[in-house]
């Protein structure tokens, strides 16, 4: 390995930078949630149009990653990271200046095209720099930040909306991406040596993706993590309808609720490496999915007589389980493929955002109470993830995670 694997580079600054790269996509979506009523009024958009603001981003994000992964394995990480951040800034500016829903949707598509590269390559950079136990620990921390950002972002979005209006959120994420890009240039730079780069052709890319999908070591954890992340985004999409529509919370109170969920994700992230070190990934992954399923079933039981306390309890159980299963499953999927880190990371991201698009759209479109729709989607996704995690791991070899 190169010198970037040294303790100096494995600092808290590097870990937060990787987490920031991974979290930028989720941040740029959830920061808008408190502003949805204001955006709908300003742009005269109906519920279906507002749903497109989310689904257009997720679909573009999912498909764009499939191209970014192989390009990064051929040309290196740095051009794709910096190019992606530049495209994201352009998309954010387009969103912030939008005077109609079609222009806002176009800006969201451009945002997604840019930020999908950043999210994919955060995982690939981690795979470039670290291996085995170190890789799993870095991915745990990165995924904790990635899952925590959506918790803080609605509170930030609510404050920005109250003080400056809904367009301020796009100014904020654009400025943040410039800061992240500067830190990346100074602290990380290129991490893929020339000797590790692969030639690119359409046939090779197709064979690479098909090879990964046909490898049970990748498919089992990657699909399961995709389902868990899909459930998480269904929660994000449905929470305003549950908390504001059913329970009467304000936009600011919604932001505070999301911010408090970060504590749950952090707790799971801190506990996850210790549990894997003691019990092994093969037990921690299904345990996490099982807890997430339990949270969904609790919500289903309480959905028709929901209170803030019962919703909070059900979502705490779900988020804690998600926080255990997600980073460990991601590390398990990436570990066997050091020479295909970009490709594997892109396919994981595609599965995650594809599931997010399906799950969030389904949760918002079912003709029933928001809490009932959310509970059904969460139960379906986490139940399927649990089945995958419980299936035999075949010849999979998982490095333990140090405490």
Q: What is the pLDDT of residue 170?
A: 94
What is the pLDDT averaged over residues 127-134?
A: 74
Q: What is the pLDDT of residue 1?
A: 38
pLDDT 10s digits, 339-383 = 777 678 778 888 988 898 889 888 888 888 989 999 999 999 999
Residue entry with tokens 């969904």: 296
Cα dist from 219 to 16, 184, 258, 288, 341, whole Å: 28, 31, 31, 18, 14
Q: What is the pLDDT of residue 394?
A: 60
Report the distance separating Cα 76 and Cα 307, nearest Å: 50
Q: Label residue 282 exposed, middle or buried (CB < 10 Å: 0-12, 13-18, 19+).
A: middle
Q: What is the pLDDT of residue 20?
A: 83
Confidence of residue 147 (pLDDT cuts 50, 70, 90): low
What is the pLDDT averaged over residues 288-294?
A: 96
Q: Are 378 and 296 in contact (CB under 8 A)?
A: yes
Q: What is the 3-state secondary structure (H, E, C) of 365-380?
A: HCCCCHHHHHHHHHHH
Confidence of residue 16 (pLDDT cuts 50, 70, 90): confident
Taking Cα atoms as reference points, which of 71, 90, 91, 66 lies closest to residue 81?
71
Q: Give the lowest-confidence range in 14-18, 87-91, 375-379.
A: 14-18
pLDDT 10s digits, 196-229 = 777 776 777 788 888 898 888 999 999 999 999 9
Cα dist from 187 to 2, 12, 14, 303, whole Å: 15, 11, 7, 47
Q: What is the pLDDT of residue 377?
A: 96
Q: What is the pLDDT of residue 132?
A: 66
Report the distance separating Cα 54 and Cα 72, nearest Å: 26
Q: What is the pLDDT of residue 59?
A: 87
Taking Cα atoms as reference points, which of 73, 94, 92 lies closest to residue 84?
92
Pick 3-190+200-390's CATH classification: 1.20.1250.20, 2.10.25.10, 3.90.226.10, 2.102.10.10. Answer: 1.20.1250.20
Q: What is the pLDDT of residue 133?
A: 65
pLDDT 10s digits, 51-86 = 788 888 888 988 888 888 778 878 888 999 999 999
More confident site: 250 or 398: 250
Taking Cα atoms as reference points, which of 266, 261, 374 lies closest to residue 327?
266
Is 60 exceeded by the pLDDT of residue 402? Answer: no
Report the distance separating Cα 28 and Cα 173, nearest Å: 6
Report the distance separating Cα 92 and Cα 397, nearest Å: 42
Q: What is the pLDDT of residue 381?
A: 96
Report the distance separating Cα 79 and Cα 76, nearest Å: 7
Residue entry with tokens 């992964």: 69
Residue entry with tokens 């059904």: 376
Taking Cα atoms as reference points, which of 353, 358, 227 lies closest to residue 288?
227
Query: What pTM did the predictor assign?
Result: 0.76
Q: Are 98 and 107 in contact (CB under 8 A)?
A: yes
Work out the number of other CB atoms within 10 angstroms of the CB of residue 261: 25
Is 80 exceeded by the pLDDT of residue 299? Answer: yes
Is 90 exceeded by the pLDDT of residue 110? Answer: yes
Confidence of residue 400 (pLDDT cuts 50, 70, 90): very low
Q: What is the pLDDT of residue 309?
A: 95
pLDDT 10s digits, 222-261 = 999 999 999 998 998 888 889 988 998 887 788 888 888 8
Is 90 exceeded by the pLDDT of residue 337? Answer: no
Confidence of residue 10 (pLDDT cuts 50, 70, 90): low
Is 60 exceeded by the pLDDT of residue 395? Answer: no
Report the distance separating Cα 310 and Cα 246, nearest Å: 13
130: region left, alpha or beta (phi > 0 left; psi from -120 to 50 alpha):
beta
Which pair of tokens denotes residue 321? 């389980």
Most confident of 24-28, 140-144, 287-291: 287-291
Which pair of tokens denotes residue 50? 């507002």
Q: 3-state DSSP call for residue 352?
A: helix
R_g of the chain computed on alpha carbons: 20
Residue entry with tokens 């929470």: 239
Half-sphere exposure of 84 (CA within 13 A, CB side): 31
Q: What is the pLDDT of residue 67?
A: 83
| Count of helices and strands (H, E) across the chain | 14, 0
What is the pLDDT averaged over residues 135-162?
A: 77
Expressed in angstroms, the distance from the first to the final Cα of the chain is 23
Phi then psi for 358, rounded to 5 degrees?
Answer: -65, -50
Q: Residue 309: enclosing H or E segment and its boundaries?
A: helix 308-334
What is the pLDDT averaged over residues 1-9?
A: 40
What lies within 8 Å, CB to CB, of 218 at 6+ separation is 212, 333, 336, 337, 344, 347
Length of the chain in residues, anyone? 403
Confidence of residue 397 (pLDDT cuts 50, 70, 90): very low
């Amino acid at each position: 390995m190169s010198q970037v694997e040294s303790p100096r580079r494995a600092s808290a600054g590097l870990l937060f930078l990787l987490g920031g790269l991974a979290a930028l996509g989720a941040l740029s979506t959830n920061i808008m949630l408190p502003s949805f009523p204001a955006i709908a009024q300003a742009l005269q958009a109906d519920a279906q149009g507002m749903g497109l603001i989310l689904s257009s981003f997720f679909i573009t994000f999912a498909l764009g990653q499939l191209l970014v992964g192989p390009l990064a394995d051929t040309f290196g990480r740095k051009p794709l990271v910096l190019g992606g951040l530049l495209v994201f800034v352009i998309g954010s500016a387009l969103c912030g200046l939008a005077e109609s829903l079609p222009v806002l949707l176009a800006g969201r598509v451009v945002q997604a095209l840019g930020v999908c590269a950043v999210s994919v390559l955060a995982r690939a950079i981690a795979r470039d720099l670290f291996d085995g136990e170190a890789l799993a620990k870095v991915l745990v921390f990165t995924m904790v930040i990635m899952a925590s950002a959506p918790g803080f972002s609605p509170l930030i979005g609510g404050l920005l909306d109250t003080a400056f209006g809904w367009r301020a959120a796009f100014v904020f994420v654009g400025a943040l991406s410039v800061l992240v890009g500067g830190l990346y240039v100074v602290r990380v730079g290129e991490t893929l040596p020339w000797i590790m780069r692969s030639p690119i052709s359409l046939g090779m890319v197709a064979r690479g993706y098909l090879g990964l999908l046909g490898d049970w070591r990748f498919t089992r954890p990657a699909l399961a993590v995709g389902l868990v992340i899909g459930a998480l985004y269904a929660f994000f999409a449905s929470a305003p309808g549950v908390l504001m529509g059913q329970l009467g919370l304000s936009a600011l109170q919604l932001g505070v609720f999301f911010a408090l969920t970060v504590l749950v994700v952090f707790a799971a992230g801190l506990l996850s490496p210790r549990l894997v070190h003691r019990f092994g990934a093969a037990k921690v992954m299904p345990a996490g999915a099982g807890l997430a399923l339990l949270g969904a079933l609790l919500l289903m039981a309480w959905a028709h007589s929901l209170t803030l306390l019962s919703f909070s309890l059900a979502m705490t159980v779900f988020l804690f389980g998600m926080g255990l299963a997600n980073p460990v499953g991601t590390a398990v999927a990436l570990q066997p493929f050091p020479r295909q880190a970009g490709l594997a990371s892109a396919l994981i991201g595609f599965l995650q955002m594809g599931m997010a698009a399906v799950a969030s759209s389904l949760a918002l479109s079912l003709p029933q109470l928001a809490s009932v729709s959310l509970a059904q989607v969460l139960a379906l996704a986490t139940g399927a993830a649990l089945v995958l995690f419980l299936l035999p791991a075949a010849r999979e070899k998982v490095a333990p995670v140090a405490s």
